[in-house]
């Protein structure tokens, strides 16, 4: 079983019925749709990590808690309220290859879906209706744009392989790429340090891996597409 788990992302592209994120030994955190969500008066106080690493995202301040729709598993982040969730301690550090996937809806005010709210210059940010900006280690940011169309409701997968960043939107790899090395630190959903560029939109699922491969990207895209 262990050998199967270790080799899965490198050797096999599996259908949704055969593959789950926790099959991957490189799974760092999994904020799973309709799972691990604790609410207070309809707002989210915790989104528990469904991986074995216990990177639970929490928010004690009721004024900054995203709202929740249990039927769809949708967390709605309102930019005007600076809605966000954060790790109570520690951070997820991705020093080499990584894969990040999320099922989201990007609304008019755009913003930061995933970032660090304690380290400066660590974020993934929608800066226009067609552009994703990524910054790591507070160095010069890189931008990757959609080949066509605009953000809306869909699924985003970002990978880094040997320093090269690539982006998929709704299962299609985009033609743009850029080089960005360093350690990507993550400890928040919905804002970057300090409470800047709050995300405007919905999150349904977020997956974070400390590896990247064509097969892993394919499996993550297929999984998110089926949500």
Say yes or no to pLDDT of 195 above 90.
yes
pLDDT tens digits along 179-194: 999 999 999 999 999 9
| Cα separation values, 45 from 4, 37, 81, 84, 127, Å | 36, 8, 15, 10, 27
Residues 112 and 192: beta-carbon distance below 8 Å: yes
Q: How confident is the model at residue 14, as a pLDDT?
A: 46
| Cα separation values, 90 from 30, 37, 48, 70, Å | 16, 20, 15, 28
Q: What whole-number distance in Å separates Cα of residue 192 and Cα of residue 215?
A: 30
- Distance of alpha carbon 26 from the chain centroid: 15
Q: How confident is the model at residue 17, as a pLDDT?
A: 61
Tokens of 25: 């030994």
Residues written for the chain: 227
The β-bridge relationship of strands 43-47 and 98-106 is unpaired
| Cα separation values, 56 from 32, 46, 47, 109, Å | 11, 7, 6, 26
Tokens of 98: 């990584």
Say yes or no to pLDDT of 2 above 70.
no
Say yes or no to pLDDT of 77 above 70.
yes
Say yes or no to pLDDT of 13 above 50.
no
pTM of the predicted model as reported, rounded to 2 decimal places = 0.93
Pick the CATH number of 31-225 from 2.60.40.1840, 3.30.365.10, 2.60.120.200, 1.10.10.10: 2.60.120.200
**154 CB neighbour count, 10 Å cutoff:** 17
Say yes or no to pLDDT of 7 above 70.
no
Phi, psi of 225 (to 5 degrees): -65, -30
- Domain ranges for the chain: 31-225
Residues 32 and 223: beta-carbon distance below 8 Å: no
């Amino acid at each position: 079983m262990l050998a199967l788990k270790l080799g899965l992302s490198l050797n096999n592209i599996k259908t949704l019925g055969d593959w789950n994120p926790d099959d991957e030994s490189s799974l760092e955190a999994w904020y799973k749709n309709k799972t691990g969500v604790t609410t207070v008066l309809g707002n989210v106080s915790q989104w528990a990590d469904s991986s074995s690493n216990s990177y639970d995202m929490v928010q004690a301040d009721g004024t900054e808690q995203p709202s929740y729709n249990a039927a769809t598993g949708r967390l709605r982040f309102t930019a005007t309220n600076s809605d966000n969730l954060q790790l109570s301690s520690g951070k997820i550090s991705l020093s080499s290859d990584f894969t990040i996937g999320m099922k989201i809806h990007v609304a008019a005010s755009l913003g930061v879906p995933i970032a660090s709210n304690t380290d400066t210059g660590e974020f993934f940010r929608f800066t226009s209706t067609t552009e994703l900006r990524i910054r790591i280690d507070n160095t010069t940011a890189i931008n990757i744009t959609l080949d066509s169309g605009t953000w809306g409701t869909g699924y985003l997968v970002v990978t880094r392989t040997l320093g090269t960043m690539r982006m998929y939107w709704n299962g299609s790899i985009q033609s743009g790429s850029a080089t960005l090395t360093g350690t990507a630190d993550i400890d928040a959903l919905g804002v970057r340090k300090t409470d800047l560029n709050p995300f405007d939109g919905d999150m349904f699922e977020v997956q974070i891996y400390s590896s990247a491969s064509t097969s892993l990207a394919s499996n993550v895209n297929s999984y998110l597409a089926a949500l």
